[in-house]
Amino acid sequence: MNITTENVLLIGSILLLISIIAGKTSYKFGVPTLILFLLVGVLAGSEGIGKINFNDPQLAQFIGIVSLNFILFSGGLDTSWKSIKPVVWQGVSLSTLGVLLTAVSVGFFVSFITDFTIYEGLLLGAIVSSTDAAAVFSILRAKNLGLKTNLRPTLELESGSNDPMAYFLTIAFLGLVINQDLSIYSIIPLFLKQILIGGALGFGFGKLSKYMINRIKLDFEGLYPVLTIALMFITFSFTDFVGGNGFLAVYLCAVYLGNHNIIHKKTIMKMFDGLAWLMQIVLFLTLGLLVFPSQVLPVLGIGMFVSVFLIFIARPLSVFISLMFFKMKMRRRWYISWVGLRGAVPIVFATYPLLAGIDKADMIFNIVFFVSLSSVLVQGTTLSLVAKWLHVALPFKVKPKSPVDAFLADGAKSFIREIIIPENNHSVGKAIVQLKFPRKAIIAMISRDDKFLTPNGATEIEPNDMLIVLTEDSETLREVYTSLGLDMIKEEEESLT
């Protein structure tokens, strides 16, 4: 079956529906949902039952880049600085030094067991050097598995931030394969340029995006996610245009926005969460369509050796060296080593050699596909078992309470106050998002002219407004008064002490 303008929506929607329905069964067997999406794409491909002819690496790469933008941006928005702060250097070490060590060790191994040159081996190692956060945490959620101490934020930070390093290594080693006269030391200036420009522009666009979202008054709430999408693509494309790492810039921009107050933040985050899932499904389906199983079979032997080396030697070696400077129990290091799933990202990066037209491009792509699939099937199905075996799993995972439940729970130390805003108060005329309100406080309602309003970040404070404020503790209540420029009355101050 050929994909045409007339049937693309029908074929795409049917594949999407099949993928979502198939994904429901993955939780029962512990198989990552996204792998089933990939298999649906393979079955629908030219050598599967669907017989859909698709052999366009350039289109697949474009879909991959767009999808990774949404996936990284959504992950950045969900990243809490408070939770990752204690493990930020561990995560950075794993996502930079760990990725480099994985790429180099796999590269030398591949060049030793095959006729690959050292640069071709390093290129293959770079492509498979990053992990897949979506696959990891879909299984953890399916098994209702909690992890002790700071394991989860460490894994989240590594998985969300290691794609930029893998992308850089892929581009750098691909350049060495094409231009073999270049020295390996030539990649050092490229690395510094990509990381420094990508990091600086990531934070810069984060601040600019926050300013624009909070300052531009749009008539419809639904336009704010659209504005954020535009800013996301501008961040990536401009950073890439000037020679920086666009994926790093997008991730850092999203982390900055996710940890600051912006208008309609919940709407934006929910929108990106849904779009990230859509992009993940589309990405895996596309890559599945691009794979020809008959071409994977001849590289099964090499793929098996590379998978075993990656899982049992390269990944643990890179983790232990990356974390040797930090205090951490041995069993937690072993678990981080096991949570090294390869997913869609390596397959996307494997399209770069295809488009560059190097000699072993097809072989590299098929090896990468096999390594990614076997990694998720072997490691992904045993994450909960290994977590319990290493005693890093919590007995059960308690569902977190919503803010309303936390405030209204019996015995909860919550405070509800009615605060009247004077006419000359500095907050008059400002939007709630501009008040630097404490994160542990909520303006539940505003009483204005004998009417009750449900506020959002764009709601402007007017004279004589009565704010119904909910806080978690007395210290937060004091911060509320401070942010509003008001003094607590003596009786209330005494009631808190």
Q: Note down the domain range covering 181.
A: 8-389
**pLDDT, tens digit, for every residue of 324-358?**
989 899 999 999 999 888 878 898 999 999 999 99
**pLDDT, tens digit, for every residue of 373-385?**
898 888 877 888 8
Q: Are residues 307 and 423 in the same domain?
A: no
Residue 141 has pLDDT above 60, yes or no: no
Q: Are residues 122 and 235 in the same domain?
A: yes
The CATH code of the domain that includes 435 is 3.30.70.1450
Tell me, yes or no, whether 2 lies in a domain: no
Domain termination site, one of 389, 412, 442: 389
Q: Are residues 340 and 446 in the same domain?
A: no
Residue 271 has pLDDT above 70, yes or no: yes
DSSP symbol at 461: P
Domain termination site, one of 327, 362, 389: 389
Q: Are residues 77 and 143 in the same domain?
A: yes
Residue 320 has pLDDT above 90, yes or no: yes
Q: Are residues 83 and 132 in the same domain?
A: yes
Give the mean pLDDT of the chain. Answer: 85
Torsion of CA 343, 348, 349, 351, to 10 degrees: 140
> What are the tokens at 87?
């493990």
Give this prediction's pTM: 0.81
Q: Are residues 365 and 443 in the same domain?
A: no
Residue 88 has pLDDT above 80, yes or no: yes
Position 234 confidence tier, pLDDT thresholds 50, 70, 90: very high
Query: Which of 201-215 are b and which e, b meaning 16 or more Cβ less than 10 Å from the residue's Cβ?
Result: bbebbbebbbeebbe
Looking at the 3D structure of the chain, how many domains does it have? 2
Tell me, yes or no, whether 396 lies in a domain: no
- How large is the average pLDDT for residues 211-220? 88
- How large is the average pLDDT for residues 461-465? 89
List Cβ neighbours of 379 (8 Å cut-off, separation of 6 or more).
311, 338, 339, 340, 341
Q: Are residues 285 and 409 in the same domain?
A: no
